[in-house]
Structure 1
């Protein structure tokens, strides 16, 4: 049964939350990052990019220590406060498309991650796990929740519905035109009822944040070994998560772009594709797949539809039914000789929130030779792959919602 706990969040004061909150550090270009830090002294970017203060790139242990220092300065200046009692936090996002996401920020069990109560669908890189573990150990906090999803639960849905009728602790709109809301739940009866409701759920799934989850588990083991008084309820045994019901999850595809045809002419390439797909030239009119196992392709100024020949490709497990895996097994690996999707510099990705026209423009601009559009995976596919203990190829899903950093912070 899932162990989901309340915690005492460190968070910005109400008047500064819109200034503190930021996107994930990696999502900014250097110019965007510097612009925000130049004009906003409260941005959480100042904490995670401490070298900015000295106009110097800083990495490794030196950076981690400076991150810790900047964080403590924000606390000392009372930009951050900490709640007195353990809370659950209802968090709602309404994006520019007026799609709404609503769930609960809480502490999830690292032991549940290890015991596969929290299930995974992506591989993680050991180096990244270890690096982030050392980062967490030095800074002593986590500011980006792991996105978890659970089967819709009537009681939890009712609690959320009743909570959002009250005045929010936070309400702010970003320059991306997403509006964020946060409510605290801290009365003991409600907190216990929410814990009990989650404890009735046997499996929870990671939607986004596999490396953060893995690193948090490694951290819990390190700190456990170094604590002779270990009890099992210490903060390091948990990691901050945003839990939303499956019905609220939005999954987009990641389209693929490749820089060359592996020495093949256009005609030779199309002939090789014909082994696996029924191909139709759609001309200059943009084509986007409308169902699983259909793909779009943009090549040499024209769109093509590619329909998988089911007599040529056999479905042996849940992974083999995933369109990202199908494209890899039929095109990317055997025809274009792209074997390692993580490290091959010939392949690029564009998530499905970007229009298929972006794929077209990147090919037209000669950045890539060919682009492929995919149909998004479903939550049922993600769960089935996780349940079978299989792992998706990199960049198989682009999952919303995307949270802001620095709105709630988990200390351990």
Structure 2
């Protein structure tokens, strides 16, 4: 794995270019300007009149549109999206449960057959804010992949903890600094380490993402792949360490070159930087073998995420389990594809807002670390039901 590439993506996460999902702690989103979104050539700026009426959600409005309004719908590789749909059907929401037998049958159908079925069964709705603004923001997240050891030593001295003993009795729990320094906090965590990492910055990356894959060296020397998944937090707010460096006047811009140069020049202050973020995440260990390795962690819907086909949304804008058409013109990557609302997050807020699951490892991290661009969304709802309900 290209560790420099992973470092580059990771530090982009730390300074807040990614937003966090329910399986991860809260992260902040960079407030720098993003380019104005304009319709691609051949795509109408406004939807034609269609049967149906707008539907109001707490944080969005859905406007029924024609299928021809969806940019690129005829060219999407729907068979790839069907894997995510099959996962949805493991825990279907009421609106979509009745269609799961047909979804399973169509898993071996052609793209044309799948498209025709969707057009017959679903009404597309353009998702927009209450004021009619259909433009929004897309970010991304991924699973870091790191080396770890079951026991401390040989450079592995940074723990990843399970939930502590007596966790529910104290809220908020100890801060990150207190966990590292107070004897009573360390006593509550005695024997609770799942694994040990070499680098506290790598641990913070896992805390930001809330899930990761470990190449874990067991006590007997055997190496195996495991997942550490989000189990809970200490209930303190997330603070960006990049923002802390800027506010302290220690760097002029919180990019990877600036932060890495500061760390190299100030090794004795790394803990001070890390402690500026009081939030701490606890994990649970999950096996990672067979089919499990082909999917990501479980999102808020309770099903494993599918790389490139799962998104996190504001649940007050788009209900869990909803098929969604996503259009983003770049500049990092242009995407016209069907995805599924399978996750959420405290920083994923607004009508047209999504966090896109890119997968795991260095390549996924490199994309996730750079992805911050304009977005439009269309939600699909069964024609015989009122949007947002199972009736």
Fold match by TM threshold 0.5: no
- Structure 1-normalised TM-score? 0.26
Bigger radius of gyration among the two:
1
More helix by share: 1
- Higher relative contact order, chain-length normalized (CA < 8 Å, sep 6+): 2
